[in-house]
Amino acid sequence: MPTFLFDSIVFGPVKSRRLGVSLGINLLPVTRKVCSFNCIYCECGWTPGKPGPGEKLPSRPEVYDALRQKLSEMKARGQAPDVITYAGNGEPTLHPDFAGIIDDSIALRNEFFPSARVSVLSNGSMLHRKSVREALKKVDQNMLKLDSALPETVIRLNQPNVKTSLAGFEEHIKDFNGRFIIQTLFVRGKCDGRPVDNTTEDEITAWLDAIARLRPQQVMIYTIHRDTPLGNNLRKVPVNELNAIAQRVNELGIATSVSG
């Protein structure tokens, strides 16, 4: 099934299942995905190994100009975003000027739409960089991926191409003093002929134990919604099952939302 890439620095606004009216920011090339993970469900497709000729990341001034222009246009139309979201064609925290870009976006948000939130969707693989952690402390919604607490499932589901571990993730996340959101995508299916399922009781128990230790301010639970690189080999998890998982998170005293 086809996947897609965002073809500009600023895209939308779009209606997000989890965030409301979201103005998206892509800090990565428009020609391919750039990510430290290669998730089998990613709507942007597979992560290629090498950059193409002449490929580059948008510069900090380019991001600033594009965002200022779009916010100015939205202000003139009376079209307020609920959130300015850094996501796009891969992992936004890989951008070398990520911290400065976040400072710029907060300043522009304050100028045009002070009530809008600034959000970052990240897989957490760059949390070992102090500059990334300091930048994420400044945003309104620091949303970090945790699809499984079992290493073998992380390898099969997220296919990281950098060194990563739950212990390291937990250590760096302490820096946020609870000001972060955990996002988890639940899915079932097959990859390379092998089953993938992060909804088994062993998976959920280990994941809940991790959630209890991490104590995020919120957990967002969802399942696949768009096309994936594996097409029909992956299946959505029914909403009633997602709600049952959410109930177990609620019992930990942690706010939880579900998007089916």
Please report, rounded to a whole number, the percentage of residues in the chain having pLDDT higher than 70: 96
DSSP tag of 34: B
* Distance of alpha carbon 89 from alpha carbon 87, whole angstroms: 7
What is the CB neighbour count within 10 angstroms for residue 1? 11
pTM, 2 dp: 0.92
What is the CB neighbour count within 10 angstroms for residue 110? 11
CATH for 10-259 is 3.20.20.70
In tens, the pLDDT along 196-208 reads: 999 999 999 999 9
- CB-based contact 181:130 (threshold 8 Å): no
What pLDDT sits at residue 108? Answer: 98
Which of 53, 16, 11 is closest to 31 using CA atoms?
53
In tens, the pLDDT along 157-216 reads: 999 998 888 899 999 999 999 999 999 999 999 988 899 999 999 999 999 999 999 999
In tens, the pLDDT along 126-135 reads: 999 999 999 9
- What's the alpha-carbon Rg for the chain, to the nearest Å? 18
Q: Is the pLDDT of residue 226 over 90?
A: no
- CB-based contact 146:123 (threshold 8 Å): no
Q: What is the DSSP string of 201-230?
A: HHHHHHHHHHHHHH--SEEEEEE--S--TT
**Residue 1 confidence class, pLDDT cut points 50, 70, 90:** very low
* Distance of alpha carbon 3 from alpha carbon 40, whole angstroms: 12
What pLDDT sits at residue 86? Answer: 95
